[in-house]
Chains A and B, each alone.
Chain A
């Protein structure tokens, strides 16, 4: 069974640029959630994708967008990067409708915006 994987591991961008982060969900999981973890904070929910559609969104501006593909992998896109976007971005997969569903997290992508 393959766990949740994310790429790249680290990324450095400059303010105003755009970035795409990628996530492969755990085998058998059909739901992907993205979280932002700023330094000294807990993970904060960005959005969730299920059946290739956004299925819930946290308090993040529209320049944060995502995609889910038929194989349940997902992308997080951030446009017009700001310095405050520097954070660890975590992807978590789960199985919708499993009754209880602990989300399994990937190792994250560390984004630095200069």
Chain B
């Protein structure tokens, strides 16, 4: 039973356009959400996070939106760059230093 779902295995976007990666969760106890980016042969790298008391967090080209009522979050990348091509994982956890629960990932390809 997947508690964190990324329903799009892959996404292809033109350079300069917006990339939108989606994530749904089922566990209402989750209150902290993270996005990780993973290049081949490297470990996941933390990208951006959001706590459940917010509905938006922005960091440069990356913005994460959280809709608690829909149990949905999304990562927006604007503008997309070829170097953004990677696998993006959505992860969630409840309060404290508890284990992260990951989605299966979405492979983003940004085409020049």
- How far, in whole Å, are A104 and B44 apart by their CA atoms in the complex? 8
Contacts of A98 in B (CB 8 A): 97
Q: Does B25 contact A (CB under 8 A)?
A: no
Interface size on B, residues (CB 8 A): 24
Interface size on A, residues (CB 8 A): 29
Cβ-defined partner of B97 (8 Å) among A31, A42, A58, A106 = A31
Is there an interface contact between A43 and B97, defined as CB atoms closer than 8 Å? Answer: no
Is there an interface contact between B98 and A42, defined as CB atoms closer than 8 Å? Answer: no
Q: Does B99 contact A (CB under 8 A)?
A: yes
Interface residues of B (CB under 8 A from A): 4, 6, 32, 34, 36, 41-46, 49, 51, 89, 91, 97-105
Cβ-defined partner of B41 (8 Å) among A92, A100, A101, A107 = A107
Q: What are the 5 closest A-B residue pairs judged by CB atoms, nearest first?
A: A42-B102, A105-B43, A45-B99, A102-B46, A107-B43
Interface residues of A (CB under 8 A from B): 4, 31, 33, 35, 40-45, 48, 50, 56, 58, 90, 92, 94, 96-98, 100-108
